[in-house]
Structure 1
Amino acid sequence: MRHVSVFNQELLNPIQKYGNSGEGKEAFKKLRLLTDRIMLRRLKKDHTNSMELPVKEIYVDRQFFGEEENDFANSIMTSGQRKFDTYVAQGVLLNNYANIFGLIMQMRQVADHPDLILKKSSEGGQNVLVCCICDEPAEEAIRSRCRHDFCRACAKTYVNSQDQPDCPHCHIPLSIDLEQPEMEQEETLVKKSSIINRIKMENWTSSSKIELLVHELHRLRSDNASHKSIIFSQFTTMLQLIEWRLRRAGISTVMLDGSMTPAQRQASINHFMTNVDVECFLVSLKAGGVALNLTEASRVFIVDPWWNPAAEWQSADRCHRIGQTRPCTITRLCIEDSVESRMVLLQEKKTNMINSTINSDDAAMEALTPEDLQFLFRGN
């Protein structure tokens, strides 16, 4: 028992109270010193030279909402903050994780493009499985025992974000097998549910973020026409809008998302890797964040930041891996006057915490504590 009390006094209590600053930072140093003496860790960065990997640089490209987006975006964010404050004032924050998760999702979507909210999948795709969390066509669709549908990646993140989650649709305790086989969907119905078919595209207005991406790709083309890029987004609807805009800008693309069969995914990968005319690979982060080898590309654009830094690390590693011969640049697009700027800071906080401890536990990085939620909604 004496050893437990010493551990609590010297390590556990300061870390819980101060996090990664002040006395907590000193406690992390002690913990690292202790674990370094009893553990062996094999990290990619320790073997980069021996693997002869080129340099990798990471940037955050910041933009502000345009005039046409600003009013609607502010209304979504203000409404979300007001609801969050109500939950806190009533002392029911922990009972409303499902609702809060939905509010965060909306604030992230409006930072991409207002149409991700204004033209919801549920409005035009009644015969397509729609995720209860992101309200998009479900990628690698799975079903809970209460018979509600989810993207596999959304369900995993949601389950890991709290101890005892409720179903976001019916609010009973959520029971779901994250490893169950993917539910089959009819390909023609999935295509018909595209956001492009729910918008009069002849009158469509782009967003600040999409135009920022177009500008960066045109700049790359003027610098070196041989560069290929991977564009990651959490939202299939955002990728569909990006694809439409890039093609009209004369930029050739191919897409991979979770609704595709394994054969279709491989065909998309092969087309990107072997066709010199294809400049951009649009990839759903839910379907292509891992298990892809895309060394033909040397540029990665992460369209929407997520609070879990591991998701972006894995995305960057799709091109920065054995077989890559060129320096890689990872660009994270961020709308500064939105929840995304706080999301980037939260990522940095989680990264620092992980670097101060003994391993990069996925569940720890995906978890959203009440303190994390307060920071995302209030900035403090």
Structure 2
Amino acid sequence: VKLFPHQVNGLRFLQKRESMDEIFKGGMLCDDMGLGKTVQTLALIVSNKPTETDLKTIDELKLKATLIICPVALASQWKDEAESKCPGIKVLIFHGPKRTDSITELGKYDIVITSYLTVVSEFDKAKSSSPLYKGVWWRIVLDEAHIIKNKKTKMAIACCNLKSFKRFCLTGTPVQNNIDELQSLFVFLRINKYANIDVWTSEIKNLIKESQTEKALNLLSKELKQMMLRRTKAVLNASNNSGFELPQKKIHRILIKFYPSERKLYRAIEAKILNNIGDDFDFKSSETKNGGTSYIYTLVYLLRLRQVACHWKLLFENNPDNEETVHTELTTNSKSDSGGNDLDQLFDSLSINTNNCEICMSKIENSSNKLCANCLNMLKPPLESKSLISNAKVDKLLSILSEQKTRKTIIFSEFTKMLSILETTLKSQGFKVVKYIGSMNRLQRDEVLTKMKTDPNTTIMLCSLKCASLGLNLTCASRVILYNPHYNPAIIDQAIDRVYRLGQTQAVDVYELIVDDSIELKISELQDKKRALARAVADGDETAKLKLVSKLTREELKTLMFGPDR
């Protein structure tokens, strides 16, 4: 395969980082999503293979393979790319219950591909029994490396404990929520002074706490210039010598008005929630007047408002008569420590007392119910109301799709129940639809992708935002619809770039559906703040630096609930 000029420069950067006269070598390739980080990495692998001398050892077995760790959904894509672009290379996917436990077997391959969850599973074993931890890898590559952004999680710790002297991080979003996320990548790489938590704290973290943000960013930028390479689509498109050109991309932010009946329901829930929080609610304390955990309960309140903004039916998924509930869908008992600064991670680790109503948090006697009698009485009438048969957001979606019915379209939402509602609606309107969600195994996901790419009659792919926003190549589509906003704009940008990337030949339209005068509008405003942080650190954007705050705190949650003046 012929590399673009920017990819040739990327290869040179990677080769230079591997030729350093240091014990630990490596770096960060942080190109915009869709610029070919995979092919640049494969070029490095084939251009710098280990010699027999490199593999000689006295104490530990050295493996000739590059270990690539990626989300499970990308494992097949990595294997296909490697085998199609690097003829003769031997590739193994180390995943699933039948994976080998023999390090000798792994030693036969040039590339071993595994998932982050598999690494965690292997780490949980005794290290002496896991082939991943028995030897020293020629190099280790973390794809979508921001997945280990929280260094306290078992996933980050498991990756850091793998052995290799050459380590690389691939990510288009090295910073998503706060600057501390970079330090987690530094700990994995081990190639600069900021891998040391004491140095990081004294030179970066403390400066930010003291409102010396610009000084901290300048120190960080100086270090990143040596170890990180980042190019954006905008810069490459504007360059006459890049050999790079993408078609136009248009962002359409669509503000949608609730139908009167929907607005009435939303306002009723909002009023009940705000009344339950009360004026004496302290976002910094651990207890509410109801005896629960204040911050966690407020996240649940926020979730309910987001659900009703998407579709009122999502609330009724909580009814115990349903086989599944929104509670089991959206909450886990994760023990990971979010540090209190990352709304996204806090939602991932959300759990509530099952003896509390999932809307108002009042105690309920029958633990099999998810809603109290008062909330059930408030919410049941819409089911019988003819005025709530339709939904403003769904109707707008259908209007957009009807303009070009044969145009391949990707629709993203983080709520899989919402995707099920849309699937039923779209099929009833004659659309041929496939769905890509996290509960599918790797083979099922591959089948969905193949059908979307090869079947001209399959025009719509419904995607779970988090599992489909990473690494997939969906250039077969040219229209993206973001059904609801997410707190983390990096996840949104990654989703868009599944379609808007190298290989795209058509103009791309992106539709952001946002309900006006609702929690969704406030979330979209929060996204701007996080994007400023990412630009300030990764791109060295001086304007963004001026807008930067040190970190995203609980005050933002307070603003989302009450507005900036509360």
How does the TM-score come out when normalised to structure 1? 0.70
| TM-aligned CA distance change 1:333 to 1:166, over 3 Å | closer
Determine the structure 2 residue equivalent to 1:43: 231
Say whether 1:263 aligns with 2:461: no
Return the offset for 1:379: 1.8
Please say if residues 409 and 459 of structure 2, whose CA atoms lie closer than 8 Å, have aligned partners that are also in contact: yes
Determine the structure 2 residue equivalent to 1:97: 295
Determine the structure 1 residue equivalent to 2:277: 84
Please say if residues 221 and 537 of structure 2, whose CA atoms lie closer than 8 Å, have aligned partners that are also in contact: no
Determine the structure 1 residue equivalent to 2:396: 212
Please say if residues 283 and 295 of structure 2, whose CA atoms lie closer than 8 Å, have aligned partners that are also in contact: no
Determine the structure 2 residue equivalent to 1:54: 247
Quick one: which of 184, 187, 210 aligns to 1:13?
210
Please say if residues 203 and 216 of structure 2, whose CA atoms lie closer than 8 Å, have aligned partners that are also in contact: no
Structure-1 separation of matches of 2:344 and 2:516: 29
Return the offset for 1:263: 1.4
Please say if residues 253 and 279 of structure 1, whose CA atoms lie closer than 8 Å, have aligned partners that are also in contact: yes
Amino acid at match of 1:88: F
Structure-1 separation of matches of 2:206 and 2:552: 26
Structure-2 separation of matches of 1:89 and 1:9: 26
Residue segments in structure 1 that go unaligned for 5+ positions in a row: 16-26, 151-156, 172-198
Cα shift readout 1:53-81 (whole Å, capped 9, x = no counterpart): 32322221110110121111111122223
Determine the structure 2 residue equivalent to 1:177: none
Structure-1 separation of matches of 2:286 and 2:304: 18
Aligned residues: 309
Return the offset for 1:371: 1.4
Determine the structure 2 residue equivalent to 1:69: 262
Amino acid at match of 1:160: Q
Q: CA RMSD in A?
A: 3.6
Return the offset for 1:377: 0.6
Highest RCO, 1 vs 2 (Cα 8 Å, sep ≥ 6): 1
Say whether 1:253 aligns with 2:437: no
| TM-aligned CA distance change 1:33 to 1:240, over 3 Å | same
Determine the structure 2 residue equivalent to 1:135: 327
Quick one: which of 235, 256, 276 aligns to 2:415?
235
| TM-aligned CA distance change 1:356 to 1:84, over 3 Å | farther
Q: Secondary structure at the match of 2:512?
A: strand
Determine the structure 2 residue equivalent to 1:354: 534
Structure-1 separation of matches of 2:446 and 2:387: 35
Structure-2 separation of matches of 1:204 and 1:315: 31
* 1:1-380 superposed matches below 5 A: 12-14=209-211, 28=214, 32-40=217-225, 41-45=229-233, 46-48=235-237, 50-86=243-279, 88=281, 92=285, 95-120=293-318, 122-125=320-323, 134-135=326-327, 137=329, 144=334, 160-161=345-346, 167-169=351-353, 205-221=389-405, 225=406, 227-358=407-538, 369-380=553-564
| TM-aligned CA distance change 1:203 to 1:334, over 3 Å | closer
Please say if residues 305 and 332 of structure 1, whose CA atoms lie closer than 8 Å, have aligned partners that are also in contact: yes
Farther-moved stretch of structure 1 (252-261 vs 75-84): 75-84
| TM-aligned CA distance change 1:118 to 1:10, over 3 Å | closer
Please say if residues 60 and 331 of structure 1, whose CA atoms lie closer than 8 Å, have aligned partners that are also in contact: yes
Structure-1 separation of matches of 2:202 and 2:283: 36
Residue segments in structure 2 that go unaligned for 5+ positions in a row: 1-200, 288-292, 337-341, 356-382, 541-547
Return the offset for 1:247: 1.8
Return the offset for 1:11: 5.9
Please say if residues 434 and 452 of structure 2, whose CA atoms lie closer than 8 Å, have aligned partners that are also in contact: yes
Q: Secondary structure at the match of 1:306?
A: coil
Return the offset for 1:35: 4.3
How does the TM-score come out when normalised to structure 2? 0.49
Cα shift readout 1:224-244 (whole Å, capped 9, x = no counterpart): x4x211000111111111112
Return the offset for 1:287: 2.3
| TM-aligned CA distance change 1:122 to 1:57, over 3 Å | farther
| TM-aligned CA distance change 1:55 to 1:219, over 3 Å | same
Structure-1 separation of matches of 2:252 and 2:211: 33
| TM-aligned CA distance change 1:168 to 1:10, over 3 Å | closer
Please say if residues 256 and 265 of structure 1, whose CA atoms lie closer than 8 Å, have aligned partners that are also in contact: yes
Return the offset for 1:319: 0.8
Structure-1 separation of matches of 2:457 and 2:296: 44
Structure-2 separation of matches of 1:353 and 1:283: 27
